[in-house]
Amino acid sequence: MNTYEQMDNVVALHTARRTDPGLSVQLELFAAGASQHLGYSAPADAPSLVTPPRPLSLAPEQLRLFYDDERTDAADGALATRLATAPGLVQAGASSWDGGRTPIHPLSLESAYADPRLLRDLGARGARFARDLGVDVVVGAETAGVPLAAAVSLAAGVPFAFVRKPGYRGHEPDEPPVRGAQVAGRRVLLVDDAVSSGTAVERFTAALAGAGAEVVGVFVLVDMRDVADTVTSLAAALPTQSVATYLQVLDLATANGVLDAAVHMLSVDAIVNRWTDDDPRWELLPMSA
């Protein structure tokens, strides 16, 4: 997900400081009456899973055949694990993002596209959400959202398009911001690799609205609003589904041996409690790795 300068219409996030030994935390995402809450805890065995989607609009006999809450929950949990353990997606090592220090490398979400079976199943997960919303077109956000949106489109059997990065200047005079299927007057699902503060969602949505589309939802691999300082009002209001949250990805990566447990504990503390760049605890990270 590309990031942009801070915008005015944001919703402040109220993050609980992690002071307990187990580093449990409850992160309140939105103000009362807004869309949802996301929570995180770091259990010893299995992490919590993303909230399951609403059932599809099928007849009761179809639901009995094709939709089972427990099996869907298990499948979604397995998919989140496959995402978090995709080679190269989570990498230990201090880095930087948007001018600030980070305890691990930013997630390389494109790594999820390397495995065709994983990409297929991620597309099927997004297609379920697309059908729930009754969308007419699946639109990928340039560039990281395009492969995922194409997979969702194939699985859902609905037309595909992609929307250019805001500010893009092409080679053609008056080049349109949206390529592919026509979106004017149609219900659109915006697909990207991640959502954080929501500024990119807002910009892409504005571009689609300018082309006459109605954006009715957002599907991403990772919902990073659980660690964002602020979230735009639009990103807080749009129906959004993800395969996992950011903290869940780190939890699953640790549970499956991708991240060392000590590095995970320090990393989550640094992210949630917003360590300053001169915090002496940064020196503990390479010692733990």
pLDDT at 98: 74
Cβ neighbours around 102 below 10 Å, total: 16
How much is the average pLDDT of 65-70?
Answer: 55
pLDDT at 99: 77
Residue 194, pLDDT above cutoff 60: yes
H or E element that contains 254: helix 246-255
Compute the distance between CA of residue 93 and CA of residue 227 in angstroms, rounded to an integer. Answer: 19
CATH 3.40.50.720 applies to domain 10-53+60-288: no
pLDDT digits (tens, 9 = 90+) for 10-29: 444 443 344 333 433 333 33
pLDDT digits (tens, 9 = 90+) for 197-219: 999 999 999 999 999 999 999 99
Say what percent of the chain tops pLDDT 70. Answer: 74
CA distances from 26 to 16, 19, 227, 247, 272 (A): 6, 12, 11, 11, 10
Token representation of residue 82:
């496959």
Give this prediction's pTM.
0.77
Across all residues in the chain, what is the average pLDDT? Answer: 81
